[in-house]
Chain A
Amino acid sequence: MSTTTIPVRELTAADVTAAPVLPDVLPARRERGAVMMFIYRHPTIAAGGFLVALIIAMAIFAPWLGTVDPTALAPAKRTRPPSELYWFGTDMLGRDVYSRVLYGSRVSLIVGFSVAFFASAVGMAIGLISGFVRILDAIVMRIMDGLMSIPSILLAIALMALTRGSVGNVILAITVAEVPRVSRLVRGVVLSLREQPYVEAAVASGTRMPKIIWKHIVPNTLAPMMVQATFICASAMITEAILSFIGAGTPPTIPSWGNIMAEGRALWQVKPYIVFFPAIFLSVTVLAVNLLGDGLRDALDPRMAKRI
C-alpha cells in the first residue's frame, strides 16, 4: 500500500545535546519591516505607487486642500503671478490656477483609469475571440490593423468631431484608439498559451473549452495585461490633455490639465506659470504611472520586458 509521507526522523534529545553551542560571532540580523523590504526589492513600484497614490489623494481631497471654486471668475485679479494668496497665480479670467490644477487632476485620472479598464476589458475579449475562433481571427485582426494604421490621436480627434465634447466621449474615443494594441497583445499571449502542455493536459483530462479559457488562459494573460494597462493609462492621460488642448476634448467648463494649458497658451511668453503648473503635474503623473508599469513588469515576469 501507499505510504503517507516520506518518513522524517523526529529530533531526539541526543541530537540537541550533541550539537555544540556556536559562539555568537555573527552580527544580529538587521530586522527590516515589511514595507522597507518591499521598497528595497521593488523601488520603481514603490516610487510610482507612492506618487500615483499621492495624486489620487490630491484629486479626491481637492476641496480641502486650500482651493477655491476653480470656475469662479475674478476679472479684477487676472494674470496674477504666483504669490502667497494665489500659489500658482491666476489665469486671464482671474481663476485660481492652483485650484484648477488640483480639480483638473480628477479629469486626467478618471480618463486614464477608465480607458485602461475599458480598453483592457474589450481588448481581452477581442484577443480571446481571435485567439480561439480561428475563422474570425483573420477578419478581426485586419480590422484591428486598420484601426492601428490611423494614429491614435487622429482617430480620437475624428471620433470627438462626431460627438459633443464631454468626459464620457473622450473616454470612449481614446478607448477605441487603444483597443487594437491590447487585443494584439492578448491574442499573441493566447496563441502561445494554448500550445502549452498544461492546456493539452487539461484537454486530455476532459476540461471543457469555457473552463480552459477561464481557468488556464485568462489568469496567465493577466500579468502582461496589467502592465499594458498601466501604459495605456499613461498614454490616455496624455491623449486627453492633447484633445483638451486643441479644444476637442473636455469642455472648457470643466478644468482639465489640457484645457488649462490651452487657455494659457496665448500668454505663454509673458505669463508662463499658467502653462507651467498643469504641465508639471501631467508629466509627474504620467511618469508615476509609467514607473509603476515598469516596476510591475519587472516584478511579474522579467522575460516580458522584451515583449512590450
Chain B
Amino acid sequence: MKAKTTPLLEVNALKKHFPLHGGLLGLRTGNVYAVDGVSFTIDRGETLSVVGESGCGKSTVGKAILRLFPITDGEVFLDGERIDNLPAGQLRPLRRRIQVVFQDPFSSLNPRQRVGDIIAEPIVNFGIASGSELEDRVAGLMDKVQLPRDAIHRFPHEFSGGQRQRIGIARALAPGADLIICDEAVSALDVSVKAQIVNLLSDLQDELGLALLFISHDLAIVEHLTHRVAVMYLGKIVELADRAALFATPHHPYTRALLSAVPVPDPTVQRQRIILRGDVPSPINPPSGCRFHTRCPFVFDRCRSEEPLLRDVGLGRRSACHLDVVPETAPTVAAA
C-alpha cells in the first residue's frame, strides 16, 4: 500500500536547458534556460495550474514530465517512484498514467487517422483491450466526451475545433490516466467552446478522480477550475499558492502584475493596475539575482545579486521574493 501522504506527482528541482548551436562547426554556444529549478507536487484528483507569460517555460515543464525529451537535471516521481531516469522500455508502461491534451486542436490529431483509431491507439498500445471490448471502450469514451457515435469512422478535419479537442481528451482518457497535462488545452478555442471544454474537464475530474496539470495563460479560466496555482517567470516558480489565497491576496509582485492585467467585467470598479515595463528578459541570458528584478517596481539592491528562494509566507503560500511584506502601491520613484 502506498502511504496516503505520497503525492501523485512530485517534481523536484526540474531543469531543462536547450543547447544553442552556432558558428561554422555547430558547436554549443550557450543554453536556453527554459526551466531552471522547478518543484511542485500534485495530489490525486487535484488541479494545479501553471500560469505565466509566453516563453516562461510552462509548456516545457509539461513536456519534461511526459518525457518528450530528456531533462537536464532534477527528479520526477510518480506515486513515489522515480521516473525521470527510467530507460525507455521501463518508462513505457508508466506512460499510461500520464496523458496530455495539446493546445492546437488541428495539429494534435493525425489528419490521416480516423477518430476511432486515434482514440483506440493508446488502448491498443498498452494492450488494455482488443476486439469488441476495444470497440466498446472507444464508444464509451466518445460518449464520455460527448462526441456523436458516428464520428468514429470520420477524419479529424471533418470536426470543429471544440469537437477536435474532445477527441484529444478522449485519447488522453483512453488508457485510464491518473494525470492529464492540459497544455493550453483551451487557449485556441473561442469563448463559448472554451467554457464547454473547461466544464467537461471539471466533470471528468470529479467523475474519474483525475489530477490535472493545467498549463495556461488565461487567469480567468484558471480561477474557475483550479485548486492551486503556480506562477512561473523565466523558468522559475515565483509563487505557489491555493487558488483563493492567490487570487485574493497575491504576494509576489509579478503575480500582482499578472492579476491586475485580468480584465474585470465591471466598468465602475476602480483597480490599481501594475504595469510592467519592458519585455521578458531572454532565457538565454537570464538576469542575475531575482529574475524579475529588471521589471519589478519594488526592486532594491539585494534583488540584483541574491536569488530569492521559494519560501513560506504564511497561509500555505510560498513566494520567491525578498520582501516579507510587499507594499500595496509602487514607489513613486520608478526603479530602473
Q: A205–B107 contact, CB under 8 A?
A: no
Q: Which of B111, B175, B207 contacts A206 (CB 8 A)?
A: B175
Q: A205–B149 contact, CB under 8 A?
A: no
- Answer whether residue B125 sits at the interface, using C-beta atoms and an 8 A cutoff: yes
Q: A201–B95 contact, CB under 8 A?
A: no
Of chain B, the residue at the smallest CB distance from A200 is B68
- Answer whether residue B159 sits at the interface, using C-beta atoms and an 8 A cutoff: no
Q: Which of A3, A197, A205, A215 contacts B113 (CB 8 A)?
A: A215
> What distance in Å separates the Cβ of B108 from its nearest Cβ neighbour in chain A?
4
Q: B125–A201 contact, CB under 8 A?
A: no
Q: B121–A204 contact, CB under 8 A?
A: no
Q: A205–B125 contact, CB under 8 A?
A: yes
- Answer whether residue B146 sits at the interface, using C-beta atoms and an 8 A cutoff: yes
> What distance in Å separates the Cβ of B104 from its nearest Cβ neighbour in chain A?
6
Q: List residues of chain A with CB within 8 A of the CB of B256.
A: none
Per the bound structure, the CA–CA distance linking A161 and B143 in Å amounts to 67
The answer to whether A207 and B110 touch (CB under 8 A), given A5-B148, A200-B63, A201-B168, is: no
Per the bound structure, the CA–CA distance linking A265 and B95 in Å amounts to 69
Of chain B, the residue at the smallest CB distance from A199 is B110
Q: List residues of chain B with CB within 8 A of the CB of A2.
A: 140, 143-144, 146, 207
> What distance in Å separates the Cβ of A49 from its nearest Cβ neighbour in chain B?
23
- Answer whether residue A163 sits at the interface, using C-beta atoms and an 8 A cutoff: no
Q: B95–A206 contact, CB under 8 A?
A: yes
Q: Which of B100, B104, B112 contacts A220 (CB 8 A)?
A: B112
Q: List residues of chain A with CB within 8 A of the CB of B111.
A: 220
The answer to whether A205 and B109 touch (CB under 8 A), given A5-B149, A197-B102, A200-B102, is: no
Q: B148–A198 contact, CB under 8 A?
A: no
Q: List residues of chain A with CB within 8 A of the CB of B149.
A: 4-5
Main secondary structure of the interface of A (DSSP, over half): helix
Q: List residues of chain A with CB within 8 A of the CB of B293.
A: none
Q: B95–A205 contact, CB under 8 A?
A: yes
Q: B110–A216 contact, CB under 8 A?
A: yes
For B130-163 the 0/1 string (1 means CB < 8 A from A) is 0000000000100110101100000000000000
Listed residue (A202, A216, A220) with the most chain B CB atoms within 10 angstroms of its CB: A202
- Answer whether residue B174 sits at the interface, using C-beta atoms and an 8 A cutoff: yes
Q: CB within 8 Å of B: which of A2-48?
A: 2-6
> What distance in Å separates the Cβ of B7 from its nearest Cβ neighbour in chain A?
21
Q: B68–A207 contact, CB under 8 A?
A: no
Q: CB within 8 Å of A: which of B163-179?
A: 168, 171, 174-175
Can you identify 17 A-B contacts, CB atoms within 8 angstroms? A2-B146, A3-B143, A4-B149, A197-B102, A198-B110, A200-B68, A200-B100, A204-B66, A204-B100, A205-B95, A205-B96, A205-B174, A206-B92, A207-B121, A208-B92, A219-B110, A220-B110
**Contacts A197-B103, A219-B110 known; 18 new A-B pairs at CB < 8 A:** A3-B146, A4-B143, A198-B110, A201-B102, A202-B110, A203-B68, A204-B66, A204-B98, A205-B95, A205-B99, A205-B122, A206-B93, A206-B95, A206-B126, A208-B125, A215-B110, A216-B110, A220-B112
**Residues of chain B whose beta carbon lies under 8 Å from any beta carbon of chain A:** 63, 66, 68, 92-93, 95-96, 98-100, 102-104, 107-113, 121-122, 125-126, 140, 143-144, 146, 148-149, 168, 171, 174-175, 207
